[in-house]
Structure 1
Amino acid sequence: MTLTLQLKNCTVIMQYITKVSGSNKWYYKRRIPQDVQSHYPDNKDKKIVKSLKTENKQDAIRKASQFTREFEAEWAVIRGKAPILTGTILDKARDILERNGLPLSKRSKHNELEYDFFTDSLDESLPKEAKDALHLAHMNKDAEATNELLAFYLEPEQLAAIAISDGTFVLNASTILEEHLKNQKWLSNKKKSGPYRLAFADLIDVLGDRRPSEYRVFEVQQLITYMIEERGLKTMSVKRRMGCIRAAFTGVTKLYELNEDKQHNFTGYDIPNLGDDAEDRLDFTAQQLLALRAAISVDMDEIWGMIAVMMETGFRVSEACSLSIADVHGLDTAYPFLTLHKTPFRKLKTKSSIRFIPLTGLALKYVRSVSGKWLFPRYIDEEEKQVKSDNGSAAAKKRIQSLLGLDAPTSHSFRHTMATRLRDAECPEDMRNEMLGWSSKVSDRYGSPSDISIKARYLEKTLDWQGQGWNRVDN
């Protein structure tokens, strides 16, 4: 089945689009060429069928065109007829220019022959209907239709290569995102890149894929309103997403000296009632801590051990998961303790997160039982030098809820509960802040034997906490 899309003064015909029985959505359906079928062993009927996830004909044609380009590029690589391009759109565009003997900036009159060869090769790669439509647009001197057709049929990196060579290239939001992630070495890091991709998806969906200087002040506020009212995000989540956009725009425009786009409007925006919709995180009650300790004492496996360490130290999930036996000190002394500092596996949230924490109770018992390199090896990826803290958090949540019920606090509440326990043990505020990594400065004795022994005594007192300060708010 084919569909047609009417552009100005020309018509685009799109193949491989169909509908299936019982659905109003369009699908992309295409037979796999015989010479590449062996690379798709799971496609028993030798066909590719993908939902285009839209009922709109124009959207379906555009998405189908993208699928066609992707599959044909993939098959060209399989056949050995095309290079494998990796990296951002800008990286790919630069690679295209280099392979065609063109400079990585605006071409000079000495490069016109190479440019003609380059554009001729692009023209040859287009389907006949596209060539006919482009010829008609050219004969009519219709630049708008020409640009629409090129945007429809060419890959983003091909369009970028043309713009660079023409001296008209600007970085739109989508390209800035990829450049920022590449510069931060986060392209393949889903945890680091995820918040940025979510933020930019909202930006492009609501305001379009434009250069930073083109977004007006009122549009930035429209995006904030959309995130709150349509996406249902909390205001602090909106703040983080807007911060991702600001960081990427500011970093890339400064790095590449894009002076016009440095003056973007993703600074100084207003998020109405910021923080007012935050939900207080519940503390654990004394009874819940007793129930957890009882369960841990019966069966102290790795997950219960991790819960014990978080419960009796106030460590964050990521901090607990990253602990190694090298972080353990003084097991043969009166006051064993853990050190928390930056390592290739551990990126501390703040500088004040560097701390010395005595081991007490079941946390100490678990650490004494460890014989390997890591305290919680299942959450360490040594090859990638990554801590799988999300997995640790999910496992702890599941284990806690299995004992205390679905409405129980999560492991993130151990920190706030520890703050309450230390306060009720009459631990001085500056020492509480040191132990929990909230202090901007530390005492001269920080980490000394006397410092460790004093903190250990306060932590030992928290083991008998009766919940007298539970959910209390300081004035």
Structure 2
Amino acid sequence: MSETISRPFTFVKDGIFYFSRRVPNELKSHYTSPRIAFSLRTRSARIAEARARKAADQLDEYWYHLRCQDGKLPGKHMLREQGLSSAEATAQAPVVSSASVLLSEAVGIYLQQKGKGRPVTFHRAAERSCGYVIDACGDKHLDAYTKADANAFRDALIARGLSGSSMTRVFGTVRAVTNFAASEQGLDFTNPFAGVYYDRTAGVSDRTPVPADALAVVQAQCRSLDDDMRWLVALVSDTGMRLAEAAGMTRDDIVRNNDGSLHARVRPHPWRRLKTKGSERDVPLEGEARWAAERILAQQTESRFAFPRYNKTDATNANAASAALNKWMKEYAPAGCTMHSFRHSMRERLRAVECPSDIVD
């Protein structure tokens, strides 16, 4: 507590510093909330203090302009009658609608309405993407952003080293946040972040399938080591499931059919969502996937999860699984092959046996 008291305009929640400042009474008509609050996206007190001071200075400058709009122009009596008009002589902030909100407030509106029941990654994506805009262009009202701001934002993303596909995701999130907040506020808004040109293929590498010989080596190593991490690899290798789908499975999701065959029920769970509604499916377990499923079911454990090590909290830790298994695979698969490569391998294997495309999908 003493740490935040000594740093003006900040408070800490779950270890993250937030900016908070009361809107002056005479300016509350310009805002939808009496207080401005948003994440500073850092756990460092030193960085938080610098960012909070910058935000406070920006607000002081903008509030000065708001107060001047209805007041008398300083030095107006000294203007020449034939000189500049008062409109030309007055340096004011861009005119914004009374319905407009700051981008930081727009993020709050978006997450409050659209973020209910969504995973923490959804919230982080919105905060991070719009945070990039604020870092590059400042925290402005939505209708104060211009195409020049959007282009500057693009250039800042390129300078960060983001690939074309990552920039597409970031721009998509920013457009979603700004469009939704503008709609909620009834703001007539032409989004400057739409139609921004950049090379969408820059830094994007082709997805590399696992070659047949490397697939055999990896699966042989899975049988040799015979532990839960290798069961997960084997399960994904002969099903093409997404890693998160497999890592978040319960033992009950592995179903034994009347004829003795096995299949996996891929369904959403509170601890692991699916990427799309169409991701719900039943996946036959054959080959090494069946071996892995049998090993999972044979374990004597009180956990309902197929892979307890990645389900110790209220959310499946697929990132930890990806990092560990991708590192392990490097010894046995060509460069560029990852756990996700098994999905591309499965598509190629199905195409090779002339499987109909609707079944492949």
- Give the TM-score normalised by the residue count of structure 1: 0.55
1:208 positional shift: 1.5
1:412, distance to aligned residue in structure 2 (A)? 0.8
Provide Cα deviations, 1:63-85, integer angstroms capped at 9, x if missing partner: xx9963168x78xxxxxxxxxxx
Q: Distance in 2 between matches of 1:313 and 1:416?
A: 11
Q: Are the aligned partners of 2:265 and 2:281 in contact in 1 as well (CA < 8 Å)? A: yes
- Which of residues 145, 157, 163 is equivalent to 1:234? 163
The corresponding residue for 1:33 is none
Aligned residues: 299
Residues 24-43 of structure 1 deviation map (CA, whole Å, 9 limit, x = unaligned): xxxxxxxxxxxx8xx8xxxx
- The answer to whether the 8 Å contact 1:173/1:211 transfers is yes
Q: What letter corresponds to residue 253 of structure 1 in structure 2?
A: A
Residue 421 (structure 1) aligned with residue 328 (structure 2) = no
Q: In the TM superposition, what whole-angstrom CA distance separates every residue of 1:194-229 from its partner, at most 9, and x where no partner exists?
A: 33233223212222210111111233133223322x
Q: Deviations over 1:92-120 (max 9, x none)?
A: 85xx99xxxx9xx749xxxxxxx9xxxxx
1:376 and 2:302 correspond? no
Cα distance, 1:396–1:149 mapped onto 2, change above 3 Å: closer
Question: Given that residues 329 and 338 in structure 1 are in contact (C-alpha distance below 8 angstroms), is that contact kept between their aligned partners in structure 2?
Answer: yes
Contact 2:325 2:339 in 1 (8 A): yes
**2:103 alignment partner in structure 1:** 173
Q: What is the Cα deviation at residue 188 of structure 1?
A: 10
Q: Secondary structure at the match of 2:249?
A: coil
Check whether the contact 2:102–2:139 (CA below 8 A) recurs between aligned residues.
Answer: yes
Alignment-derived partner of residue 69 in structure 1: 8
Q: CA deviation at 1:244?
A: 1.0
For the 8 Å contact 1:342–1:348, the answer to whether it is kept is: yes
Contact kept, 8 Å, 1:88 with 1:182, in 2: the verdict is: no
For 1:266, the equivalent position in structure 2 comes to 193
Query: Tell me, what secondary structure is at the counterpart of 2:265?
Result: strand
SS at match of 1:245: helix
Residue in structure 2 matching 1:304, options 212, 217, 230: 230
The residue type equivalent to 1:324 in the other structure is T
Quote the residue 2:43 is aligned against.
none
**Secondary structure, counterpart of 1:180 in structure 2:** helix
1:343 aligns with 2:269: yes
Q: Give the residue type in structure 2 aligned to 1:205.
A: D
1:250 & 1:335 partners in 2: Cα distance? Answer: 49
Cα deviations by residue, 1:291-350 (Å, 9 ceiling, x for unpaired): 111111112211101111110100111111111122222256343111212232332212
**Counterpart amino acid of 1:194?**
R
Give the secondary structure class of the aligned counterpart of 2:304.
coil
Aligned to 1:51: none
> How far apart are the structure 1 equivalents of 2:144 and 2:289?
55
Distance 2:275 2:326 in 1: 21
Contact 1:227–1:238 (8 Å) recurs in 2:
yes
Distance 2:5 2:104 in 1: 16
Which letter maps to 1:296? C
Summarize the Cα distance change of 1:151–1:322 in structure 2 as closer, same or farther, 3 Å threshold: closer
Structure-2 change in CA distance of 1:189 and 1:266 (3 Å): same
- Is 1:235–1:271's contact at 8 Å kept on the other side of the alignment? no
SS state at 1:68 partner:
coil
Letter in 2 for 1:410: T
Asked if 1 retains the 8 angstrom alpha-carbon contact of 2:104 and 2:130, the reply is yes
Matched residues in 1 for 2:131 and 2:173: separation?
Answer: 12
Long gaps (5+) in structure 2: 35-52, 71-96
Q: Is there any run of 5+ residues in structure 1 with no aligned partner, and where? A: 1-35, 40-47, 49-64, 75-85, 108-114, 116-147, 434-475
State the distance in 2 between where 1:300 and 1:334 align: 23
- Cα distance in 2, alignment partners of residues 311 and 150 from structure 1: 49
Q: Which secondary structure does the structure 1 equivalent of 2:264 belong to?
A: strand
Q: Secondary structure at the match of 1:259?
A: coil
1:118-267 pair list within 5 angstroms: 151-152=56-57, 170-185=100-115, 190-228=120-158, 230-255=159-184, 257-260=185-188, 262-267=189-194
**Aligned AA (2:222):** I
CA distance in 2, matches of 1:432, 1:298: 30
2:99 and 2:187 in contact (8 A); partners too: no
1:177 is matched by which residue type in structure 2?
V
The one-letter amino acid of 1:417's match is S
Distance 1:209 1:285 in 2: 49
Alpha-carbon contact 1:236-1:274 (below 8 Å) kept: yes
The answer to whether the Cα contact below 8 Å between 1:310 and 1:320 also exists between their aligned partners in 2 is yes
Match of 1:401 in 2: 330
Structure 2 CA distance for aligned equivalents of residues 245 and 367 of structure 1: 41
Percent identity over the alignment?
Answer: 22
Q: CA deviation at 1:233?
A: 1.7
- 1:27 matched to which residue of 2? none
Q: Secondary structure at the match of 2:330?
A: helix
Q: One-letter code of the match for 2:325?
A: A
**2:172 counterpart letter in structure 1:** G
Q: What amino acid sits opposite 2:284 in the alignment?
A: P
Output the aligned Cα RMSD: 4.0
The alpha-carbon distance between structure 1 residues 150 and 180, as it changes in their structure 2 partners (threshold 3 A), is: closer
Query: Deviation at 1:364?
Result: 1.1
**Residue 163 of structure 2 contacts residue 204 of structure 2 at CA under 8 Å; is this kept in 1?**
yes
1:389 correspondence with 2:347: no
Answer yes or no: is the 8 Å Cα contact 1:187–1:193 preserved in 2.
no
Give 2:146's aligned amino acid.
Answer: R
Between 1 and 2, higher relative CO (CA 8 Å, sep ≥ 6) is seen in 2
Change (3 A) 1:211 1:424: same
Output the CA distance in 2 between the equivalents of 1:152 and 1:214. 18
Q: Tell me if the contact between 2:164 and 2:203 (Cα under 8 Å) persists in the aligned partners.
A: yes
- Which residue type is aligned with residue 213 of structure 1? D
